[in-house]
Structure 1
Amino acid sequence: MDSNNIWFKVIVGVILVGYMAFIFYQSLKGGIAYKKQFENFKNSHKHYETVVDGAYWVWVMVAMAVLAFILMLMAPKLAKDGQTYYYYLAYGCIGLVFLGLSIDSYTHRRIYLTEEGFFFDDTYYRYRMIANYEFKNGIVTRNCTVLMSNRDKIVVTKKIGELLQTKQKEFKKAKKERRK
């Protein structure tokens, strides 16, 4: 099949843009849910501590998205022999993916701690719901899976996982002190 065939271009474009738009939509939907639930959390918890691990990742992802969109605009100068369409398509899709990743980085690299629990992603969890921690210390993967008693699993950064462990111990200690 000839790559300059108009139907081939349309099919490839629809598939790629559709899939990338779906990925971006999922990230955007998660970001909107996060914002809405965070407002509810702020209204019901006046005193909370914000912990952000790796806020620079949000800015790195936004910068990469901007770079991809700039390269998309430069496609006529970069492309050879009628391949401009594919350059537009590729850089536009890459830009959408990086925008989605920036939203995901924002929501998954911050946690809000209270005396009795924490708000992560779009849910408030109590320390007493935590069943176990599974730390992964690989070369690439350095995170913590927090297993909840209701069978939920949340994946946080290693630093946040260690902080949750500490806060849970403090919560249990304070609970023992209140019982005396």
Structure 2
Amino acid sequence: MAISMDDLNLYVCAAFHGFVAQLDISDPFRPSLTQKVFLGGIIYKCIGISELGKMPLGKSTSTQRSYNTEQIKLNGKIYEGGPCRLQLSLDGRRLFISNSFLRNWDQHFFPKLAEVGSSIALVHIDPSGEKPMKVDKDFGIRFDFENKTNEHKNNGNTSPSNFAFYARDMRFLGGDST
């Protein structure tokens, strides 16, 4: 979760459903969903929703829908996993989203994520609320494999190993909005 600096918006992610929701919390006792943006998730895989973006369950808007209809590509590569960690810029115009929750959960629920490594996505936000949130498909920080040679302390043998990196918490130097 992340709250905007002006305390008007709350951002919440749902990793399995694959969306990030923006809620209006100007009245904290009556929060309301204003918009959603979809990134990854596993729901469309589980219930057989087409990856081509067709919605077999009838027409609905993205705020009514709670599942993803397509996989998002960032810099031409599929965004594996679902949105897990959020970092809102200090001016409230950019939301950075990582797709790794915990290594054990990632390996169980998103096995492809363990193979290709984690990513950070960027969502542009209009603080006035007039324009919808938009995923920047040209931005994407990939945490691919690191090829290392590990040296075992016991016997001195070396063996090549591949390690997938997992993007988790993000923080800004000199200030944080969360």
TM-score range, shorter chain: under 0.3
From the CA coordinates, give the structure whose radius of gyration is larger.
1
TM-score when normalising by structure 1 = 0.20
TM-score when normalising by structure 2 = 0.20
Larger helix share, 1 or 2: 1
Larger strand share, 1 or 2: 2
